[in-house]
Amino acid sequence: MTARAIVECPDLATLWEQLGQGRADRADSGFDGPQIESDDVLRQRMFAAANGEKARDLHDGNWQKHYPPPHGSQSQADFALVDIIAFYTDNREQCARIFNQSALGARNKQTTIGGVPYVEHMVAKAFAEKLPTMNHAAVINQLQALTATAVTKQPGRFNIMIGAELRTIPPSRDVIKGVMPGEGIVVDYGQSGGGKSLLTFDMGTHIAEGRDWWGYRTKQRPVLYLALEGAAGFRKRVAAWETANGRDLPTGMGIAFDPFDLTKPDDIAALAAECPPNVVIFIDTLNRASGGADENSPLGMGQIVAGASALQRLTNGLVVLIAHPGKDPTRGLRGHNSLFAAADAVIFVNRNGDRRSWKLEKSKDGEDGIEHGFSLRVVNLGTDEDGDPITSCVVSPEGGISPQWASKPLAPNKHMGMKTFREAAGEHGIVDDDGNFVGVHKDAWRPVFYRNSTGDNEDSKRKAFNRARTDLVSDGHLVVESDHYRIGGPQAAAHNGAIAALIIARRDSGTTAGHSRDSPDANSGTGRDTTL
């Protein structure tokens, strides 16, 4: 592992500020915008909104309707009304004034919280959760001015290629062929005690030595393993590996036990400065490297993903995050589904009794679904001062490759079916009002399959399409309800959540229709899943 200097480092602090890092700091800095509208106009807008009935009830003092005792309280109603008012104004004084003019604020409340007057504290808390209103017209004008400057100063900055030129670009080389890309972000997750850390450590040693891993070719690369969950246990794993393999740990593999936080720009810049180019960085575990970010919120997970992306860009390498599943392992990764959506590959490490396996759940540019079994072999490392044995484990594929209970690669027509299903889902998928993926209608899926099919005529394409969707449902890869298809299987929630996130992102950016449950062809139903 050889250190290198970073020539260019983007202003990560600015990125973090945009993502919401340090909300309390913004409030303490006294952000206080101008008053734009009169109190009466603001109240009219507030009462006419979708939640206007609640706003009017709270404003008129009918707080028990929304926060009934014994679990609800008038203080909860106070905070809720201030939050609503703060949505419509960037001016703190106006926010406090309108609250004080309401029935809730009319009572004499002399309480202080942490030495701060009650109403002032509520307003500060509300403003800590918001960003200043953006002046869209000013931003557009600024972008137009920058664009005009760029045209005069940087002619030909974009290198637009045609097909023949694109074919001369060498393809990206996987670090583990067919399993793990050479660049980007990979997530490896599984339950505690399932062997995910041992598996990823074994993966790292093979990459550092350039040895085939489970029969898949590797591209030799420098490796850094951040062991954030205890040095003593990890040292035993290294000793077990060296004992089992009869040689020292590869010289191209470094181990670090220092604390590291993906939400701190200084940590990212410092780590990147220690890494050689194209390094593969394993971060074990994501939870230990996420600081105080809320993994379940889009903002918190956005900070984590942004940190991993920044580290990847600075090193021009690959970042592998070792993570945990949620409370229900069948629902996939813990936290917001934007992590699954952002990952270039996702590997699930499963344990069922004594049986273990790893499965490629997602491969952005390859074929997912491959699965292999493995076992953990105990290695004796001697005895401690009391004469008790010291042991650790190493991963062994001796438990069988592609066992009976492992998934098999899809046949060509099924593979075409799944590929076009995902494409159709992204373009024409339906989400309900809660942001859940309802499915994609077969009439929207069919033309996508046809345009990718190699069939000679319409009839052969129709037969291939019908066979693919029937087989995929029969095998459990998809489920269908009222002609709407969505992902099936034990990890359905994670996959369908990622599809929903993609649809919503495209809808919000205006690149897709973004159907909702109320769309003319949206008929998701409420019954159980059925097969064709």
The CB-based long-range contact list for 486-494 (8 Å cut-off, 24+ gap) reads 486/425, 486/437, 486/438, 486/439, 486/440, 488/529, 490/330, 491/330, 491/331, 491/332, 491/348, 491/361, 493/330, 493/331, 493/332, 494/331, 494/332, 494/333, 494/337, 494/340, 494/346, 494/361
The pTM of the full predicted model, rounded to 2 decimals, is: 0.52
CB atoms inside a 10 Å sphere around CB 44: 12
- Residue pair 81/59 in contact by the 8 Å Cβ criterion: yes
CB atoms inside a 10 Å sphere around CB 37: 14
C-alpha closest to that of 187 among 4, 28, 348: 348
Rg (Cα) of the chain, in Å, rounded? 28
- Residue pair 465/453 in contact by the 8 Å Cβ criterion: yes
pLDDT of residue 144 exceeding 70, the answer is: no
Q: Tell me the mean pLDDT in the region 107-132.
A: 77
Confidence label for 517 from pLDDT (cuts 50, 70 and 90): very low
C-alpha closest to that of 309 among 284, 281, 332, 336: 281
Q: In what order do the strands lie in the sheet with 430-431?
A: 430-431, 437-441, 484-487, 478-481
**Read out DSSP for 46-105?**
HHHSTTHHHHHHHHTT-GGGTS-TTT--HHHHHHHHHHHHHHH-S-HHHHHHHHHHSHHH
3-state secondary structure of 469: helix
Phi, psi of 478 (to 5 degrees): -130, 160
Query: pLDDT, tens digit, for every residue of 160-180?
Result: 777 777 777 666 688 998 899
**Read out DSSP for 155-213?**
TT-S----HHHHTTSPPPPPSBTTTB-SSEEEEEEE-TTSSHHHHHHHHHHHHHHT--B
Chain centroid offset of residue 375 CA: 29
C-alpha closest to that of 100 among 82, 124, 73: 82
Confidence label for 156 from pLDDT (cuts 50, 70 and 90): low
Query: pLDDT, tens digit, for every residue of 427-455?
Result: 888 888 777 888 999 999 999 999 888 88
Residue 133 CA: distances (Å) to CA of 185, 299, 480: 33, 18, 43
The sign of the dihedral angle between the CA atoms of 284, 285, 289, 290 is positive
Query: pLDDT, tens digit, for every residue of 241-278?
Result: 999 888 999 999 999 999 999 989 999 999 999 999 99
Amino acid present at 387: G
Structure tokens at 144: 């137009």
Whole-number Å distance between alpha carbons of 235 and 260: 19
- Residue pair 328/306 in contact by the 8 Å Cβ criterion: no
Amino acid present at 118: Y
Mean pLDDT, the chain, rounded, equals 80
- Class of 184-399 in CATH: alpha beta
Query: pLDDT, tens digit, for every residue of 383-421?
Result: 888 888 889 999 888 543 333 333 456 788 888 898 899
**Which pLDDT belongs to residue 402?**
38
Q: Tell me the mean pLDDT in the region 353-382.
A: 85
Whole-number Å distance between alpha carbons of 196 and 358: 8
pLDDT of residue 223 exceeding 90, the answer is: yes
Whole-number Å distance between alpha carbons of 237 and 225: 13
Share of the chain above pLDDT 70, in %: 79
C-alpha closest to that of 237 among 188, 203, 285, 202: 202
Whole-number Å distance between alpha carbons of 131 and 165: 45
Query: pLDDT, tens digit, for every residue of 455-513?
Result: 888 889 999 999 999 888 887 888 888 889 988 865 677 677 778 877 877 776 655 54
DSSP H or E segment with residue 392:
strand 389-396
Residue 43 CA: distances (Å) to CA of 52, 55, 111, 134, 137: 10, 9, 26, 21, 25
> Of 422 and 158, which is predicted with more confidence?
422
**Which pLDDT belongs to residue 397?**
81
